[in-house]
Amino acid sequence: MDNFRLKRGGSHIRLQKSGRLIGMRPATEGREHGTWHKDADLTLLPTGQFLAGFEILKAPEQDAAETVLDRLRGLNPGHTGSQIYVTPKSGAAYAPTGKVVVRP
Concatenate the DSSP letters of all residues of 26-75 into one string.
Answer: -SSTTSPTT-HHHHHT---EEEEEEETTEEEEE-SSTT-HHHHHHHHHHH
- Work out the widest C-alpha separation in the chain, in whole angstroms: 46
| Nearest-angstrom CA–CA distance, 48 and 45 | 9
Give the model's confidence band at 30: pLDDT under 50 very low, under 70 low, under 90 confident, else very high: low
pLDDT value at residue 60: 80
More confident residue, 37 or 65: 65
Span 94-104, average pLDDT: 69
pLDDT value at residue 6: 80
| Nearest-angstrom CA–CA distance, 56 and 63 | 16
The tens digit of pLDDT for each residue in 66-89 reads 888 888 777 766 677 888 889 888
Output the pTM of the full model: 0.74
Query: In this model, does residue 32 exceed pLDDT 70?
Result: no
Work out whether strand 80-86 and strand 54-58 pair parallel, antiparallel, or are unpaired. Answer: unpaired
Give the model's confidence band at 35: pLDDT under 50 very low, under 70 low, under 90 confident, else very high: low
More confident residue, 99 or 49: 49
